[in-house]
Amino acid sequence: MRDKDPFDNKEQIRFDITWPATSFGRPPGGSRSSVSQEAKETQVQSTPGRPIFDDYTQRSEGPQNTVKMVSAKKHIPIVKKHRATFKRHQSDRFKCVPESWRKPKGIDSCVRRRFRGTIAMPKIGYGSNKATRHMMPNGFKAFVVRNPKDVELLLMHNRTYAAEIAHAVSSQKRVAIIAKAKALGVKVTNPKGRIATEN
């Protein structure tokens, strides 16, 4: 007579499976209802000291759930090869010639022909490092936004780009943009522009 198989009596065997918490709050391949309330409480008690969020609730919702503003990525030091501005040729001689740079086009221009002793012309050798080009001193690169929907584009790039509200945006929409950026953890370079503050 063969031994009794313990799996024959399935009623006496109880499998208590607690799926690990995922980003969507449900086990892989299962539905949201498949995770029992007891399993959720077990997961909450097993990780003390960590903030607990609902399955489909963003971290920013609720007064107790606050998003910590992220810092910029680590980068190499920002080096500006040429800080002086390039002035237009003969702008120091004639008042009608402004200092803003214009490339000389004359056939006899000594600046265009790069004679010795003439002013310097912009060229590619003065360019900054590509890794730190257009980077602000705080390590972020500015990204112009005009509505709250534009802030969502920086959700996965909030450590590289910072939102900069466009000049023509109204004060009402600025408040909505700042609230959206705070919820997503996106830095805003000009949060006080056109916003009334309490004294």
C-alpha dihedral (88, 92, 97, 101), degrees to nearest 10: 10
Residue 81, classed as helix, strand or coil, is coil
Q: Specify the DSSP element, H or E, that contains 144.
A: strand 141-145
Element (H, E) at 45: helix 37-46
User: How far is it, in rounded angstroms, from Cα 104 to Cα 99?
Assistant: 13
Q: How far is Cα 73 from Cα 136, in angstroms, rounded to an integer? A: 12
Residue keyed to tokens 């237009």: 88
Task: Please report, for the chain, how many H helices and E strands are present, in that order.
Answer: 3, 2
- pLDDT-based confidence at 72, cuts 50/70/90? confident
Residue 117 to residue 123: CA distance in whole angstroms = 17
- What are the extents of the domains in the chain? 20-57, 62-80+128-199, 81-127
The alpha carbons of the chain give a radius of gyration, in whole angstroms, of: 30
Position 185 pLDDT exceeds 70: yes
Kindly indicate the confidence band of residue 55, based on its pLDDT and cuts at 50, 70 and 90: very low
Express each pLDDT in 130-172 by its tens digit: 999 999 999 999 999 999 999 999 999 999 999 999 999 999 9
Q: Is 141 helix (H, G, I), strand (E, B) or coil?
A: strand
- Pairing of the two strands 141-145 and 161-165: parallel
Q: What is the pTM of this model?
A: 0.57
Closest CA to 87 of 122, 59, 55: 122
Residue 124: is its pLDDT beyond 70? Answer: yes
H or E segment and range at residue 179: helix 171-184
Quote the Cα angle for 181-186-192, to 5°. 60
pLDDT for the residue 103: 97
Q: How far apart (Å, rounded) are the C-alpha atoms in residues 159 and 69?
A: 10
Residue 96 has pLDDT above 70, yes or no: yes
pLDDT at 104: 97
Q: Are 181 and 151 in contact (CB under 8 A)?
A: yes
Cβ neighbours of residue 190 closer than 8 Å, sequence gap 6 or more: 164, 165
Bridge partners of 161?
Answer: 141
